[in-house]
């Protein structure tokens, strides 16, 4: 789980608008990405943040202006050559990287099976081998009964399953997913994400996905990175991120709201993960110290197969009065962040201590 | 002129027309298809981007297309002789017909191929396909319905051009209509010839539309609407809007009509003929 499968260093992509001298758009600005073997890595960001350029640079559909990309220990940027066309080695390397697209990109004139066979045709496999492999893959994605259908006859979710089957045809170690679920409804999105999860586990497939939906990261990702203006602002495993105080991603994954109901109250954000998530910590706190706790907001979810949650609670009394209960929570392995007035008070207390 | 006199004339003329148009269509497709694809590939942002080559081919095509057919025929006489050994007769007419039709067809091909979704090209590239794979597995098959319609349009235009082939003694239906019908005041024969031409053209159009629509129905109505130009590297929305086929593709080259659309493609050849006259 530790060897990086996809590594980019200082990846930069600058688009020069044609005929408008000097007007440049920096889509990627020195991106360092490390995706470890067997993980599902999500890159999230708003449109225009550079996600698409990033994923296209990974298999060099876009030539990076600077920086290097290596996939499975192979430096792709070195294979690229100078011309705009992809040389043989780069094409071979690409065939070992699967890619799934937002708009599926299936050939409308081919049947589902023929679509899945396409990468195998490119690899020069024999007819028998192709159809065996294609049917096997269609079975894997749950579409064995649609082999003879045309893409036009399928629903969005089914089309994406075909897209995934096709991406897996070359037995890739790495799967790139370019907003694979963005054109799908929430229900279908979930089923596609579960499929990706299953494939990741069954085949040990490393998945790099880009998305603008937090839910996607929450549902399937082991690690995540937040992109803004062509840079990676935050990155790490989801558990790490949740444990990082002030993490934007963590806050976005688990948005909790609520304001203090009075001046003499302490508001804290509690983040649970690992064991603590299953223990009745709040109820213990209440009983041990005999205090009334009100919950202002809470979110609980399963992230990467683990229960994780965030809760904003209010304790009676000022921060000074609550140092002991907060200490108790910290002892229980919870991560505590003070909110608003309490944060200020805590800072004052610390200063006073000095 | 009695029917028994007219019949052998008409029969011979039909065969002459079919012979000339048939061969010149074959040559036009063989020559125009790669040329049209090359026009797309060498364009800015294309897989074989080469602006200079693109401009050169584009200009050659434009010049050839702007040449009135009858002038082209005369201008090519030397070339025709070097190929067929003669400048009169059916074989001699095929040369200028084919050469006139190649750029015409190439422009239609260009329009059709441009309509192929850029995302499909990207998909094949991501599988490790090279440019030739893209052409073979994506560009041609995906634009096949449009290509068939383009071929129909070309055949119909060629039938129009072939009327002028009579000036080099190649015969054909148009030639009969001019020489017997118009110049010898055999009005009846002229109208019969026109009727035969109308039937032939309707038949060709019908078969072409049928074939194109059949292909459309098989693969068509898919999410892969031919919206995006090949040039854009980013895939854009290809879901939804297919609905009405390709009737809006015309403007690009200013040459062909929206293929697969009986209404417009019937008009185009007529316009072309009138231009030539």
* Residues B21-44: tens digit of each pLDDT: 999 999 999 999 999 999 999 998
pTM of the predicted model, to two decimals?
Answer: 0.77
- Which two structure tokens, joined as six digits, stand for A326? 């907060």
Dist. CA B137–CA B169, nearest whole Å: 43
Backbone angles phi, psi at B82, to 5 degrees: -65, -25
Task: Kindly report the average pLDDT of chain B as a whole number.
Answer: 79
pLDDT of the residue at A81 = 64
A209 with A234: CB under 8 angstroms? Answer: no
- Per residue in A269-282, pLDDT (tens digit) is 888 776 766 778 88
Nearest residue in B to A108, CA atom: B219
Q: Pairing relation of β-strands A223-228 and A40-45?
A: parallel
Q: pLDDT tens digits for A130-165?
A: 999 999 999 999 999 999 999 999 999 999 999 999
Residue B257 has pLDDT above 70, yes or no: no
Cβ contact (<8 Å) for A121 and B137? yes
**pLDDT one-digit tens code per residue, A285-312:** 888 888 888 888 887 777 666 677 788 8
pLDDT of residue B229: 40
Comparing A1-15, A112-126, A222-236, the range with the smallest average pLDDT is A1-15
Gap from A121 CA to chain B (nearest CA, Å):
10
Under DSSP, the state recorded for A258 is: -
What structural domains and CATH numbers belong to chain B?
3-276 (1.10.3720.10)
Token pair 């890619």: residue: A99
Rounded CA-CA distance B259/B144 in Å is: 11
Q: What per-residue confidence (pLDDT) applies to A328?
A: 86
What ipTM describes this predicted complex? 0.79
B232 Cα to chain A: minimum distance (Å): 12
Burial class of residue A48 (count of CB atoms within 10 Å of its CB; 0-12, 13-18, 19+): middle
CA distance B37 to B146: 13
Interface residues of A toward B, Cβ cutoff 8 Å, are 18, 52, 56, 59, 61-62, 84-86, 91-95, 97, 99, 101-110, 118-119, 121-123, 150-152, 156, 159, 166, 169-170, 176, 178, 183
Higher pLDDT, A39 or B276: A39
* B218-238: pLDDT as tens digits: 654 443 444 434 444 443 334
pLDDT tens digits for range A219-253: 888 899 999 888 999 898 887 887 777 778 877 77
CB atoms within 10 A of CB A300: 12
Kindly state whether B138 is in contact with chain A, defined as any CB-CB distance less than 8 angstroms: yes
Tens digit of each residue's pLDDT (9 = 90 or more) over A52-74 = 899 999 988 888 888 999 998 88
Task: Report pLDDT digits (tens) over B134-162.
Answer: 999 999 999 999 999 999 999 999 998 88
Residue B211 pLDDT greater than 80, yes or no: yes
Nearest chain B CA: its distance from A201 CA (Å): 23
Are B54 and B43 in contact by the 8 Å Cβ rule? The answer is: yes
Question: Is residue B179 over pLDDT 90?
Answer: no
Candidate from A84, A95, A104 with C-beta closest to B127: A95
Which tops the pLDDT comparison, B259 or B202? B202
Q: What is the arithmetic mean of pLDDT over A26-54?
A: 90
Structure tokens at B92: 């001699």
Of the pLDDT bands very low, low, confident and very high (cuts 50, 70, 90), residue B270 is: very low
Q: Does B243 touch chain A (CB under 8 A)?
A: no
Domains and CATH numbers, chain A: 4-243 (3.40.50.300), 254-353 (3.30.70.260)
Across chain A, mean pLDDT equals: 85
Looking at residue B241, its pLDDT comes to 40
User: What is the DSSP secondary structure assignment for residue B246, as one 8-state letter?
Assistant: S
């Amino acid at each position: 789980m530790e060897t990086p499968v996809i590594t980019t260093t200082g990846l930069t992509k600058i688009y020069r608008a044609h005929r408008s001298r000097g007007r440049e758009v920096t889509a990627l600005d020195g991106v360092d990405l490390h995706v470890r073997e067997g993980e599902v890595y999500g890159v999230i960001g708003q449109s225009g943040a550079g996600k698409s350029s990033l994923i296209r640079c990974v298999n060099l559909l876009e030539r990076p202006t600077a920086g290097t990309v290596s996939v499975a220990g192979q430096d792709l940027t070195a294979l690229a050559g100078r011309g705009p066309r992809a040389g043989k080695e780069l094409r071979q390397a690409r065939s070992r990287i699967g890619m799934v697209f937002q708009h599926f990109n299936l050939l409308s004139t081919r049947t589902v099976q023929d679509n899945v066979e396409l990468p195998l045709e490119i690899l020069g496999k024999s007819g028998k081998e192709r159809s065996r492999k294609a049917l096997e893959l269609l079975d894997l994605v749950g579409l064995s009964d649609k082999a003879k259908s045309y893409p036009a006859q399928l629903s969005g979710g089914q089309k994406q399953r075909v897209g995934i089957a096709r991406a897996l045809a070359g037995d890739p170690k790495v799967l790139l997913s370019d907003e694979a679920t963005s054109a799908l409804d929430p229900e279908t999105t979930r089923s596609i994400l579960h499929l990706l999860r299953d494939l990741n586990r069954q085949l040990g497939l490393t998945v790099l996905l880009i998305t603008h939906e937090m839910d996607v990261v929450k549902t399937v990702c082991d690690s995540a990175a937040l992109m803004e203006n062509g840079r990676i602002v935050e990155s790490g495993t989801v558990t790490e991120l949740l444990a990082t105080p002030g993490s934007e991603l963590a806050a976005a994954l688990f948005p909790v709201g609520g304001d203090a109901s009075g001046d003499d109250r302490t508001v804290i954000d509690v983040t649970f993960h690992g064991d603590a998530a299953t223990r009745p910590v709040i109820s213990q706190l209440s009983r041990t110290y005999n205090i009334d706790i009100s919950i202002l907001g809470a979110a609980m979810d399963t992230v990467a197969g683990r229960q994780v949650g965030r809760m904003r609670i209010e304790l009676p009394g000022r921060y000074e009065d609550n140092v002991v209960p907060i200490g108790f929570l910290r002892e229980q392995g919870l991560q505590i962040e003070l909110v608003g007035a309490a944060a200020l008070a805590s800072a004052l207390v610390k200063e006073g201590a000095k | 002129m009695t029917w028994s006199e007219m019949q052998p004339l008409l029969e011979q003329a039909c065969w002459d027309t079919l012979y000339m148009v048939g061969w010149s269509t074959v040559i036009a497709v063989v020559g125009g298809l790669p040329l049209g694809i090359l026009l797309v590939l060498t364009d800015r942002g294309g897989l074989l981007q080469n602006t200079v080559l693109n401009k050169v081919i584009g200009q050659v095509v434009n010049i050839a297309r702007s040449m009135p057919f009858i002038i082209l025929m005369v201008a090519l006489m030397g070339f025709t002789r070097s190929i067929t050994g003669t400048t009169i007769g059916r074989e001699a007419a095929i040369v200028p017909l084919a050469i006139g039709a190649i750029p015409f067809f190439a422009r239609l091909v260009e329009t059709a191929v441009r309509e192929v979704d850029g995302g499909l090209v990207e998909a094949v590239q991501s599988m490790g396909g090279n440019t030739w794979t893209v052409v073979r597995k994506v560009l041609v098959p995906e634009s096949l319905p449009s290509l068939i319609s383009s071929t129909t349009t070309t055949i119909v235009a060629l039938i129009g051009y072939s009327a002028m082939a009579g000036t080099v003694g190649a015969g054909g239906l148009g030639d009969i209509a001019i020489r017997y019908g118009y110049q010898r005041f055999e009005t009846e024969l002229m109208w019969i010839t026109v009727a035969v031409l109308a039937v032939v053209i309707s038949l060709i159009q019908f078969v072409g539309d049928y074939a194109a629509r059949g292909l459309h129905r098989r693969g068509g109505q898919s999410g892969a609407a031919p919206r995006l130009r090949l040039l854009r590297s980013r895939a854009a929305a290809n879901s939804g809007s297919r609905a009405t086929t390709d009737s809006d593709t015309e403007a690009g080259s200013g040459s062909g009509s929206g293929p697969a659309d009986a209404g417009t493609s019937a008009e185009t050849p007529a316009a072309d003929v009138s231009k030539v006259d």
